[in-house]
Amino acid sequence: MKKILSLALAVVLLMLTFVSCQNAADEKTSSDTSGETNLQTISEPSEFLPADVNYNGYEFRIFGLGPISGTNFFGLYCNEVAVDEETGDQVSDAVYYRTREVEELYGVKIKPVLIDVVDVPTRSSGGTEILKFIQAGEDAFDFAMINGNSLVQIFPVINNFVELNSIANLDLSHSWWNQNVRESISIGGRLYTAHGDISLYGYIGAECALANKKLIDDYGLDNPYDLVRNKKWTWDKLYEMSRTVVVDVNGDGIIDLNDKFGLMAETAVLLFAVMGSGVKLASKDSEGMPYITAMSERTVAVVDKMFRILTDDTTTYIAKVTEDFYTARDKFHQNEILFYVNQIGMALQSRGMENDFAILPRPWFDENQGQYYVTVTPSFATFVCIPNTCSNVERTATVLDALGYYSQKYVRPAFFDVTVTNKMVRDEDSLEMLEIIYGNCVYDLGYIFNWGSLSSVFSTIISTRNNTFVSSYDSIANKIETDMQKTLEAFGIN
């Protein structure tokens, strides 16, 4: 167990490029209906220097996404903005302690301003809702936390938000801010949104693959952990293993949800496989200016290979989020699917599975790839932005930075050391794989901005079962460039 906990801490330290001088964790004890609950924390690093201010009971308002009531999707039941009381749930209680610490430190009362969220797709409405307040000139909140898919709604009018690098007392180089995001989604040195430990939902969005260990043992298949370690974990290998376990259970000659098959995925997996191969939809030059790099020989090669794998009805099942997604997920739990490709959130949903499963990074395109590129889906990750209607930007920056630090101290350990280690991971090998996953997360500028609605090209290829990538890309190439130029203009760059 000591070794497992030390590996879990390594996952924590790798996740968002934190400083190397972290000290050992301390503990804070809280009570719940079942007795005592140990809340894991990270001891205070010297880089956090509280400001000598008191805001005398100011009501500090944070716009955010409401939790999804009754959801069984881990994390989305929890309010990441603020929690008013202890519940006994480690993650929710960690948000509570973060809230109380900041309130006491600066003399504020944190008030969530939440939009109703009924399901995962409606989480993407945050940007539109924010703009209603801003364009009415209403000082309705001090900063906002919105879903990554909502960013495309605010970027065209980004001058409605504060450029974060211009705020003298907001240092985004601190370890509780994600440096990869800071670098990836700035343009010409201008940054309007940030991401880091304050985003609880971002933890569950990293892409991964799950493998049913019982089926691997039953069919005498290669150990997937060793495949990763030996640089043999590729999409071709996954496909080869998947074909081995297929069984037409009811004998009707059709492989569907009534049968046993090798791979379950969604239409989005094609795009994630492309980015997972090292392809960037957009890159930046030495001056931080973007240019499109989505079309290449490698992109075409990845799309061709993945199209063959994902449209093979004898091996692969593409689940539909609004129709049969949870039914297909349950088949993995019932040992009727070998590989389940999704996010860490789905691994957490599988924590009650009776038989063991392996957590793996998404496969390489081929054995020559040499590095993992792990996409964090913006459907879950939330990003911070400050409206230009904010009446006191300096105060907002002071409170925001403290929330980031106390998220690092309380929320991150609660998620990783308690939830991941004790509730999800079945073996030390999976912890090693999580180090790989969280240590190689990427945020693609072209994916976040989604110029020309490029991402839909990839999902449409799978949903229509028609590989038209080259012609589809050509048909929107001009729009991609036009949309990018509009973004540059919105950022004040000619």
Pick the CATH number of 35-203+378-425 from 3.40.50.740, 3.40.50.800, 3.40.190.10, 3.40.50.620: 3.40.190.10
Same fold, 35-203+378-425 and 207-375+450-490: yes
* pLDDT value of residue 42: 59
Q: What pLDDT tens digit does each residue of the chain (494 aa) get?
A: 434 444 444 444 444 433 333 332 333 333 333 334 455 565 555 689 999 999 999 999 999 876 655 444 554 556 788 788 888 888 889 999 999 999 999 999 999 988 765 455 555 567 788 888 888 999 999 999 988 888 888 888 888 999 999 999 999 999 999 999 999 999 999 999 999 999 888 888 899 999 999 999 999 999 999 999 999 999 999 999 999 999 989 988 888 888 899 999 999 999 999 999 999 999 999 999 999 999 999 999 999 999 999 999 999 999 876 667 677 778 888 999 999 998 888 777 777 777 889 999 999 999 999 999 999 988 778 899 999 999 999 999 999 999 999 999 999 988 887 667 666 677 789 889 999 998 999 999 999 999 999 999 999 999 999 999 999 999 999 999 999 999 999 998 87
- Please name the residue that has the structure tokens 């046993």: 260
345-382 burial, b at 16+ Cβ within 10 Å, e below that, comes to bbbbbbeebeeebbbbbbbbbeeebeebbbbbbbbbbb
H or E segment to which residue 458 belongs: helix 454-464
* pLDDT value of residue 85: 84
> In Å, what is the CA distance from 156 to each residue of 135, 152, 290, 483?
13, 7, 16, 9
* pLDDT value of residue 302: 98
Q: Tell me if the pTM is above 0.75.
A: yes
What whole-number distance in Å separates Cα of residue 411 and Cα of residue 80? 9
Is the CA virtual torsion 199, 189, 271, 421 positive or negative?
negative
* pLDDT value of residue 485: 94
* pLDDT value of residue 55: 98
Token pair for 268 = 């989005």
* pLDDT value of residue 28: 35
Token pair for 229 = 């370690």
- Domain boundaries along the sequence of the chain: 35-203+378-425, 207-375+450-490
* pLDDT value of residue 33: 34
* pLDDT value of residue 430: 86
Superfamily of domain 207-375+450-490: Periplasmic binding protein-like II (3.40.190.10)
* pLDDT value of residue 320: 78
> In Å, what is the CA distance from 163 to each residue of 134, 235, 367, 381?
15, 41, 42, 20
What whole-number distance in Å separates Cα of residue 100 and Cα of residue 83? 9
Answer yes or no: are the C-beta atoms of 334 and 273 closer than 8 Å: no
